[in-house]
Chains A and B, each alone.
Chain A
Amino acid sequence: MSPEIHHDSRADELLAIRCVLGERDAFDELIARWHEPVWRYLRCLANSDDATSDLSQDTWLRVMRAIATLRDPASFRPWLFGIARRAAMDRMRRQYQWTVDDSAVLEELPAADVEEAALESDLALLESGVASLPLPEREALALFYLRELRIDEIAGLLGVPAGTVKSRLFRARCLLRAKLQNEGVIP
């Protein structure tokens, strides 16, 4: 584990402890720090900004109501994304159907990749490539490239072995590469 990640984990644990204690300021900091990554993750699962905003609100309500009973503040990050995921799955169950995203966000991809796809038209193709991935691969890709969760944390959150997460990531990259090659975006 790199020193930076270790430092972030400690900062997250400290923030989580302050929330469990019931400090009002800590909740403001928590929301400021985690709203964007959670929103981006949910945007990858939802099919519109409006749906993402609803899911985000639902997630944060659940967080505020459940954090008092958080037993292990050290595992705050997978706990948070687990709540976001459950909120999204509950919504999907309510809708009784799943529509493929038609506008998945690109922010999950590493900055270097985005820089490589410099032209706007290429970005649009990349975007449609991510959106065309099956849900398990798209979700693993989003969680991993948000750079917020490690493989073992994603595995715990999704309830699958670490090897499955790795294979989903591998498959996602292959599918995305094949799609982009077919579109002529990359050689």
Chain B
Amino acid sequence: MGTYLLKNWAVVALIAALVIGMVLPLATGISAPGFYFEVMLGGLMSGVLYSLVALGLVLIFKASGVFNFAQGAMVLFAALAVARMSEVMPLPVAFILAIGVMAIFAWLIERLVLRHLVNQDAVVLLMATLGVSFFLDGFGQTVWGSDIYQIDTGLPKTPVLVAENIFQGGILINTEDLVAAAVAALLVIALAIFFQKTPTGRALRAVADDHQAAQSIGIPLNHIWVIVWTVAGFVALVAGVIWGSKLGVQFSVSLVALKALPVVILGGFTSVPGAIIGGLIIGVGEKFAEVFLGPVLVRQFDLAGGGIENWFAYMLALLFLLVRPEGLFGEKHIDRV
């Protein structure tokens, strides 16, 4: 352990700086404890959404080595589908139909794009998914419309005051947020069971480990890709519904989902827990940077306003890339560059 710390002093220093930065506002009394925890909870909530988008990315990357730039567009598309269909039918029906839509989409992707680009360079695949993402953005808005739509999940939006007796002011929590976090946790558990206990899940893990070995023992790669894209589509759907019920479904969803890129860099491309923890770190980190660091910077350098959260995640990822390219939990692979 001692040698590890010595060898990776840069990583340790970065993580230490991150932790100190997170504790500092509370320790120095810049903010009231109640406010501090509210900011943290707000960050965790957006972190949950980032995690869900990143989860879809990691699933696809593990199974097919494709870095799916279109995950954000899939979130938007799924959310739009649910929002518009739930206008004419009950929400659960719309949800199930949307799963079907995402499955068809997954099949088409495999059929029309992936199959033709097998064994291509990772960058080519990335650019292909960039194309898919543009197509999906345009297609979704042509079919479903481009206004802002609400998804009404019927959950109470009333805030609850908790921990009032621990410190002054207590913490305001949205019930909806709690339910959303619980749903996300359930989804992750369900995915874990699916991957660990079912034959399909085992096949998916086999493909993730080694394409050729999996194929040689008779696992059909093409089917696996359809399945994994469907699962990623399902994750995107859940993320989209949570997002849509919180902030409304609109085009910006697709852009905010770009934040999943730094999340997977931070957590590691191949790690599901990494995606979740990375998402939470980025969510909390950028909220803290915006709320606590932003005003300081604005005062110090006479800026024309904050907005640090627009780039904080990317710069954090960039720093991580310099000291630990495989991310917090990713597999270390030796690669000459």
Q: Tell me if chain B binds chain A.
A: no
